[in-house]
Amino acid sequence: MVAEERKSNAALLRYRVGLVLIWIGVLTWLPFIVMRASGYKPSLFWFLPFHLIGVIGGSRLRKTARLELGAEAPQKNAFRSIGHSLIFIGILVWGVYFYLKLVAGQPVEVGDFLPFHLSGIFGGILFLLLGYFANRRRANDTG
């Protein structure tokens, strides 16, 4: 009994640490935005690793913790599929940016691609939330 409680406490702690890592990864961009607004042009590569480690690492940590806690995977629906697709497309935008910048040697700016990235990410999150509420409503109607 005590060992099971410790295991669930550890999983809950991992879930919370994952959430903190995601927020740190997202908030990494605040200093970048402030520097850009003040006229300084910082390199994207100083901030990108911290963003990716926080967001990807945090989401993996949360998924592992959810599995350890025995939480059910969210039920799939059209909203969730559209949400994941939009997030995927929002991330793929950076493939074009890095291709143009590193392979083709074109002078491209981060600001030209950021609106498309954020539209995909925030649009995807909106659809994931709609899917969550649709599943919740369906569960309340049947139960």
> How much is the pLDDT for 74?
76
Domain boundary assignment for the chain: 1-73, 75-143
> How much is the pLDDT for 93?
95
Per residue of the chain (143 residues), what is the pLDDT tens digit?
Answer: 566 777 788 889 999 999 999 999 999 999 998 998 999 988 888 999 999 999 999 999 999 999 988 888 778 899 999 999 999 999 999 999 999 999 999 999 888 999 999 999 999 999 999 998 998 888 788 76
Ordered alpha helix ranges (H), the chain: 2-27, 29-37, 48-69, 78-98, 110-142
Return the SS3 of 92.
helix
Judge contact between 50 and 27, C-beta under 8 A: no
> How much is the pLDDT for 75?
81
> How much is the pLDDT for 18?
94
Structure tokens at 41: 């042009």
- Which of 93, 119, 95, 97 is CA-nearest to residue 108? 97
Q: Cα separations (Å) of 131 from 55, 58, 69, 100, 117?
A: 21, 22, 22, 35, 21
Q: b/e map of 61-76 (b: 16 or more CB within 10 Å)?
A: bbeebbeeeeeeeeee
